[in-house]
Structure 1
Amino acid sequence: MSTQFLAIGECMVEMAPTGEGTFAMGFAGDTLNTAWYARKCLPASWTVGYCTAVGDDKVSDQMLAFLEGAGIETSAIQKRDDRTVGLYMIQLKDGERSFAYWRSQSAARCLASDRAHLDNVLGRAGLIYFSGITLAILPAEDRTAFLEALHKARAGGAKVAFDPNLRPRLWEDAETMRACVTKAAGLCDFVMPSFEDELAHFSDPTPDASADRYLAAGAGMVVVKNGPEQVICATEDQRQSFQPKPVSGIVDTTAAGDSFNAAFLAEYLVTGDIVASVDAGAGLAGRVIQHRGALVDVLEPA
Structure 2
Amino acid sequence: MQLLAIGECMIEMSGGEDGCWRLGFAGDTLNTLWYARAGLHPADGPVGYFTALGTDSFSDRIVDFLDEAGIASGAIRRIPNRRPGLYMIEQKDGDRAFTYWRDTSAARGLADDAEALRAAMRDARMIYLSGITLAILPAEGRARLLDALRAAREGGARIAFDPNIRPALWLDEVEMRDAITAAAAISDIALPSFDDEARWIGDADPAACARRYAAAGSGEVVVKDGAGPVTILSEHAMTDMPVPPAAKVVDATGAGDSFNGGYLAARLNGSTPVEAARAGAAMAARVIAAHGAIIDLPETSDWQTG
Tell me the TM-score normalized by structure 1.
0.95
On the 8 A contact 1:39/1:71 being kept in 2, the answer is no
Correspondences of 1:1-302 after superposition (within 5 Å): 3-17=1-15, 22-44=20-42, 45-92=44-91, 97-301=96-300, 302=302
CA-CA distance at 1:191 after TM superposition: 0.3
SS of residue matched to 1:88? strand
In structure 2, C-alpha distance between the alignment counterparts of 1:21 and 1:276, rounded to whole Å? 45
In structure 1, C-alpha distance between the alignment counterparts of 2:37 and 2:199, rounded to whole Å? 32
On the 8 A contact 1:96/1:253 being kept in 2, the answer is no
CA-CA distance at 1:262 after TM superposition: 0.6
1:61-115 deviations in Å (ceiling 9; x for gaps): 0010001111100011011112000001123468854421001110000000000
Change over 3 Å in CA distance of 1:10–1:60 after alignment to 2: same
Q: Which moved more, 1:262-271 or 1:11-20?
A: 11-20
On the 8 A contact 1:15/1:88 being kept in 2, the answer is yes
In structure 1, C-alpha distance between the alignment counterparts of 2:209 and 2:76, rounded to whole Å? 33
Change over 3 Å in CA distance of 1:282–1:77 after alignment to 2: same
SS of residue matched to 1:10? coil
Q: CA RMSD in A?
A: 1.6
In structure 1, C-alpha distance between the alignment counterparts of 2:299 and 2:192, rounded to whole Å? 27
In structure 2, C-alpha distance between the alignment counterparts of 1:20 and 1:229, rounded to whole Å? 38
SS of residue matched to 1:151? helix
Query: What one-letter code is carried by the residue in structure 2 that aligns with 1:256?
Result: A
On the 8 A contact 1:247/1:286 being kept in 2, the answer is yes
In structure 1, C-alpha distance between the alignment counterparts of 2:125 and 2:263, rounded to whole Å? 16
On the 8 A contact 2:190/2:222 being kept in 1, the answer is yes
In structure 1, C-alpha distance between the alignment counterparts of 2:220 and 2:19, rounded to whole Å? 43
In structure 2, C-alpha distance between the alignment counterparts of 1:188 and 1:95, rounded to whole Å? 38
On the 8 A contact 1:52/1:111 being kept in 2, the answer is yes
CA-CA distance at 1:300 after TM superposition: 2.2
Q: Which moved more, 1:213-222 or 1:231-240?
A: 231-240
On the 8 A contact 1:95/1:250 being kept in 2, the answer is no
In structure 2, C-alpha distance between the alignment counterparts of 1:10 and 1:155, rounded to whole Å? 25
Aligned residues between the structures? 300
CA-CA distance at 1:273 after TM superposition: 2.0
In structure 2, C-alpha distance between the alignment counterparts of 1:102 and 1:189, rounded to whole Å? 33
In structure 2, C-alpha distance between the alignment counterparts of 1:4 and 1:239, rounded to whole Å? 28
In structure 1, C-alpha distance between the alignment counterparts of 2:24 and 2:288, rounded to whole Å? 17
CA-CA distance at 1:39 after TM superposition: 1.8
Change over 3 Å in CA distance of 1:20–1:284 after alignment to 2: farther
Query: What one-letter code is carried by the residue in structure 2 that aligns with 1:156?
Result: G
Change over 3 Å in CA distance of 1:91–1:212 after alignment to 2: farther
Change over 3 Å in CA distance of 1:93–1:206 after alignment to 2: farther
In structure 2, C-alpha distance between the alignment counterparts of 1:299 and 1:209, rounded to whole Å? 38
In structure 2, C-alpha distance between the alignment counterparts of 1:219 and 1:210, rounded to whole Å? 12
SS of residue matched to 1:130? strand
Unaligned runs of 5+ in 1: none
SS of residue matched to 1:300? helix
